[in-house]
Amino acid sequence: MPNWNAIEASFLNQPMPQQLGELAASLARIKSWSQKNASREIVPILLEESLLYVNLLQQQNHPHRVELAQLQELLQGWVNKGSRSTEIANLAPIAATWSARVLDMSGLLVVADSKTA
């Protein structure tokens, strides 16, 4: 089982753009693992991780608070439903969409693009 206290401490020590990047990466992992047969054990942990990140972001004064609240509600619903294989298979496209949205919120790609220009 993950050390949630260590994960939380590490997350909180990052600047907000990196925190959003961590959330986007976690959502991308949900997408990836929900398409694999071994997902029954992994996906619930990734859902918990993503929910933890959103909960921590919601404690801050974040400009994307409304969108994060929508994501928080979605993740909580998935956590409450458990890891039924039919549900897990449906997570991939939704998680991918949210991953892209959160990555866009982070501004990390804009910063990276402007440095290479």
Is-contact 20 105, C-beta < 8 A? yes
**pTM of the full structure:** 0.86
- Position 109 confidence tier, pLDDT thresholds 50, 70, 90: confident
Residue 112 has pLDDT above 80, yes or no: no
- Position 36 confidence tier, pLDDT thresholds 50, 70, 90: confident
pLDDT averaged over every residue in the chain? 86
- Position 84 confidence tier, pLDDT thresholds 50, 70, 90: low
Q: What percent of the chain has pLDDT over 70?
A: 85
Which residues fall within 8 angstroms of residue 96, CB to CB, at 6 or more apart?
27, 28, 31
Return the SS3 of 82.
coil
Closest by Cα among 73, 52, 68, 55 to 106: 68
Which tokens go with 99? 């991953």
* Helix/strand/coil percentages in the chain, nearest 5: 80, 0, 20
- Of residues 98 and 117, the one with the higher pLDDT is 98
- Position 4 confidence tier, pLDDT thresholds 50, 70, 90: very high
Return the SS3 of 72.
helix
